[in-house]
Amino acid sequence: MYSLVLITAANKKEAERIAKKLIQDKLAACVSIVSGVESLFWWQGKVDRAKETLLIVKSRKEKFAKIVKSVKARHSYTVPEIIAIPLTNGFKPYLKWIDDSIG
């Protein structure tokens, strides 16, 4: 099964470092980096706000544990957002490309 993994990073430099390693280690076929994300969230008992960079990782479900390990090793947050959304359908040639890219 395929999945999209959403990860927020503190800035573009951190996002690029995480993305590059995921690609190099064949944990992701593609990582889209979206700058300019503004997040509001609960942290340590109060509402906080941060400008972040979003990574959209295209991968397979079975790679998730290794993605988490890789991200945690490179991420500046104590509790980074790393969430997977299952893909229930997709353009068959694109899904094949994911398979071919990450093995």
Q: Tell me the average pLDDT across 82-95.
A: 97
Residues 6+ apart with CB under 8 A from 44: none
Q: Tokens in use for 94?
A: 């694109």
Count of structural domains, the chain: 1
CATH number at residue 81: 3.30.70.120
Residue 44 is classified by DSSP as T
3-state secondary structure of 26: coil
- What residue numbers bound the domain in which 51 lies? 2-102
pTM over 0.85: yes
Placement of tokens 């972040």 in the chain: 52
Q: Tell me the average pLDDT across 49-69.
A: 98
Beta pairing class for 30-43 and 2-9 = unpaired
Distance CA 97, CA 15 (A): 23
